[in-house]
Chains A and B, each alone.
Chain A
Amino acid sequence: MSGIVAQNLNRQSGLIKAPEAGGGAWTFISKTTASASATLSITSGLDSTYKVYFITYNNIHPETDNTHFTFNGSIDSGSNYNVAKTSTHFAAYADEGDSNTSLGYETGHDLAQGTGVQNLLNEIGNDNDQSASGYLYLYNPASTVFVKHFTSVSQLVNAGDYSRNQFVSGYLNTTSAIDAVQFKQSSGNIDSGDICLYGLTI
């Protein structure tokens, strides 16, 4: 910090030194926009700068009907996305016809030390007005002591015209630093949508 008004940092009026980042506890790091994309990868910005990262996925629209939006982690800057994960996955859903509701565990969408992708959003529809949104917290990915927990909450319109509210949490079971994450559909491209990465100052 330098300059004649450095001592005024944190004042709320008058002439002050600008904050180093965007101000506030959250820092926007990156935005990745899909355009018929096979994958959306975040290969920078996940490091020891922050201990809490927050990833939003907004209006993810799949090319292929009834496919899942997924993610995986990397410990080699994105060369490989194959970190073992154990997760729990449950969802509440209701159809537009008001004939079917449920809250339950989604056995086919969890992982038990699986190195494949983790489903975050199940069975997204590809009608023009169908999409999915939500968020994923990733805790201390640069830790070399602990596994890395993630928690997500998502909402989507599925292929059968259901509203689905999904809760996925788990851990990337590695004590190596996670330095990249990748999102993709279980089949076909991500036609549109965006993914934003934020860091939280603690």
Chain B
Amino acid sequence: MSGVVAQNVGRRSGLVKAPEAAGGAWTLIQTITASSDATISFTSGLDSTYDEYCFQFVDIHPSGDNENFQFNASLDSGSNYNIAKTSAYTQGEHNEADSSTFIGYKTSMDLAQGTGAQVLVQGVNYANDSMCSGYMHLYAPSDTTFAKHFISYMGATMGGGGDYIQSNHVSGYINTASAVDAIQFSYSANNIDTGTISLYGIG
């Protein structure tokens, strides 16, 4: 550290030395707010700047009932979202009536080299007070040696006529040694009515 104001590092006003990095371990790259959108795509900001990225999902509300919230990845800046993925999907459930509980593997929600979308939340309720929230970490998407791992943990109010909490734990890898440079989120059939998705770089 050098310069006439080095001693002012850490002060919150006046003239200070710039932080060494962007100013924190998590850097907000972009926030996209949904407004009856079929898809939400992040086509910039995923590069070699960070080795870890995190998407935060807040109040993602579908326009239709019982919708799966999902993502896919692109190698060509969003022209195509069709990368092979292999994943594991664990789910917990419990209803407000206290008559049903579940913890287990969801065979129908995982992928085995599937190029279609990876479900992050199964069957979101579209009642006015219902939605899903959570996060997904994506590791080293610009790496050109390894596959790209992802880990997500999301809670949802579950659709299909019940009032359930659903806990969704999904991890897997995007099975390519090419750089992943875009990610797209969508509901399985209808729009993302409202909600925000934020992308952070970590490190």
The yes or no verdict on A and B being binding partners is yes
Give the residues from 112 to 141 in chain B that come closer than 8 angstroms, CB to CB, to chain A.
128-135
Binds B, one of A6-14, A62-70, A154-162: A6-14
Q: Contacts A18-B12, A51-B58, A167-B167; is A149 near B155 (CB within 8 Å)?
A: yes
Beta-carbon contact of A112 and B26 below 8 Å: no
- Residue from A26, A105, A107, A150 within 8 A of B155 (CB atoms): A150
Contacting chain B: which of A39-47, A86-94, A125-133, A185-193? A86-94
A171 at the B interface (CB under 8 A):
yes
Please count how many residues in chain B sit with their CB below 8 Å of the partner chain's CB atoms: 57
Query: Could you tell me the distance between the alpha carbons of A137 and B169 in the complex, rounded to whole angstroms?
Result: 15
B25, B92, B135, B155: the one contacting A171 at CB < 8 Å is B155
Q: Chain A's nearest CB lies how many Å from the CB of B121?
A: 11
Dominant secondary structure at the B interface = strand
- The distance from the CB of A150 to the nearest CB of chain B, in whole angstroms, is 7
What band does the interface of chain A fall in when counting residues whose beta carbon is under 8 Å from B?
35 or more
Residue A98 is within 8 A (CB to CB) of chain B in the complex: no
- Given A18-B16, A145-B129, A200-B56, the answer on whether A86 and B96 have CB atoms closer than 8 Å is yes
Quick one: which of A83-136 are within 8 Å of B by CB? 86-90, 103-105, 107, 110-113
Please report the C-alpha to C-alpha distance between residue A147 and residue B19 in the assembled complex, in whole angstroms: 38
Partner of A5, one of B15, B24, B103: B15
Is A12 in contact with B28, judged by CB distance below 8 angstroms? no
Is A12 in contact with B18, judged by CB distance below 8 angstroms? yes
A1 to B: closest C-beta gap in Å: 11
Q: Does residue B94 face the partner (Cβ distance < 8 Å to A)?
A: yes
Note all chain A residues with C-beta closer than 8 A to B200.
25
Q: Which residue of A lies closest to B14 (CB)?
A: A18
- Are A12 and B19 closer than 8 Å at their CB atoms? yes
Is A25 touching B165 in the complex (CB atoms < 8 A)?
Answer: no
A111 to B5, CA, bound (A): 55
Tell me the B40-58 residues at the A interface (CB within 8 Å).
Answer: 56, 58
Residues of A within 8 A of B102 (CB): 105
Contacts A51-B196, A151-B167 given; does A24 touch B18 at CB 8 Å: no
User: Most chain-A Cβ atoms within 10 A of its Cβ — which of B11, B101, B129, B133?
Assistant: B133
B143 close to chain A: CB less than 8 A: no
Which single residue of chain A is at the shortest CB-CB distance from B4? Answer: A15
B63 beta carbon closer than 8 Å to chain A? no
A143 within 8 A of B: yes
Taken together as a complex, chains A and B put the C-alpha atoms of A153 and B154 apart, in Å, by 12
Which residues 1-50 of B sit at the A interface, judged by CB distance below 8 A? 3, 5, 11-28, 31
CA distance A149 to B135 in the complex (A): 12
Query: Cβ of B18: which chain A residues have Cβ within 8 Å of it?
Result: 11-16
10 chain-A/chain-B pairs, Cβ below 8 angstroms: A23-B23, A24-B22, A51-B196, A105-B102, A149-B134, A151-B154, A169-B167, A170-B94, A171-B157, A202-B198
Give A residues with C-beta under 8 Å from B. Answer: 3, 5, 11-26, 51-52, 86-90, 103-105, 107, 110-113, 137, 139-140, 143, 145-147, 149-151, 153, 167, 169-171, 173, 175, 200-202
Q: A16-B18, A86-B164, A151-B133 are in contact. List 18 more A-B contacts (CB 8 A).
A: A12-B18, A12-B22, A14-B18, A15-B3, A23-B24, A24-B25, A25-B24, A86-B94, A86-B163, A87-B165, A88-B165, A103-B103, A112-B96, A143-B59, A146-B61, A147-B157, A167-B153, A202-B28
